[in-house]
Amino acid sequence: MKYKIEKAEFEALADTVKAEYTLDGETATLKLEGAPDYEGATKKLEIEKEHRKNAEKAQKEAETMSTKLQKDIEAAGGSKAEIERIQKEHTAELEKMRSEREIENKANTEKANKFLIDAEATKFANLNFIESPFGNEFIKSKYASRLSVETVDGQQVIRVKDADGKPSILSVSELQKEYLDNKAFSPIIKANVGGGSGATPGQQGSGAPRKKLSDMTATEEAAFEKENPQEYAAAIKQ
């Protein structure tokens, strides 16, 4: 079967074959257990490439302006008034360039933050909720709305908002627990997680096996390491 097909082609398939695909907009993607997130990796690379491109553009513009300033001052022939005029124009051009770069950087940061939130929400929803219009897609949207991104020491860090969209002291693992313990969501929670017992994604009930480290989100893995250091150490060695 094809890895990706158009919506029209997907609609023409038998229901048993449709079940093997996930429809997202106009494209359906074949479900592959444990498959790498190629699309997510590609988007991340595109964002990083755009950041590098903008940084190189800003450096080139600064070098060009510096060269122009030097030539204009030399051409002024030592005239104090002319040099002051040139410096004033240069300062105005420099401020304009800085303002434009700030706008571009803000847009790129917002794009990177959205990607980070979408990736976190998608992984949490797909791992813990069944696939249906009112399953993981519904949870993904609601869960993402509770997340924001803060830059700490140059690194993007996911933060949790309260139900009103205001900053909160909740951790990501606590937010996940809130969703998995919510009885209203129990019909769409996958059988091996949650169940209203207070289990977090790293804690399975009813004798079910624990998730593999490779299947955990970064926050799930961090919570697992903190709550079960010995089991975590053993899992790392496997």
Cβ–Cβ < 8 Å for 187, 139: no
Instruction: Round to whole Å and give the CA distance between 11 and 27.
Output: 11
- Own/partner contacts of 113-120, CB < 8 Å, gap of 24 or more, are 113/148, 113/149, 113/156, 115/40, 115/43, 115/44, 115/47, 116/149, 116/156, 116/158, 117/144, 117/147, 117/148, 117/149, 117/158, 118/144, 119/37, 119/40, 120/144, 120/147, 120/158, 120/172, 120/217, 120/219
pLDDT digits (tens, 9 = 90+) for 57-69: 777 877 887 888 8
Structure confidence by residue, pLDDT tens digits, 171-224: 999 999 999 999 988 888 887 554 443 344 444 433 334 567 667 766 667 677
More confident residue, 236 or 108: 108
166: confidence class by pLDDT, cuts 50, 70, 90: very high
Domain segments of the chain as ranges: 1-32, 33-237
Q: Reply yes or no on whether the pLDDT at 160 is more than 90.
A: yes
- Binned at pLDDT 50, 70 and 90, residue 144 comes out as very high
pLDDT at residue number 142 = 92
| C-alpha neighbours within 13 Å on the C-beta side of residue 202 | 22
pLDDT the model gives residue 73: 81
Instruction: List the structure tokens of 237.
Output: 């060695």
Over residues 83-99, the pLDDT tens digits come to: 888 888 888 888 888 88
% of residues, the chain, pLDDT over 90: 13
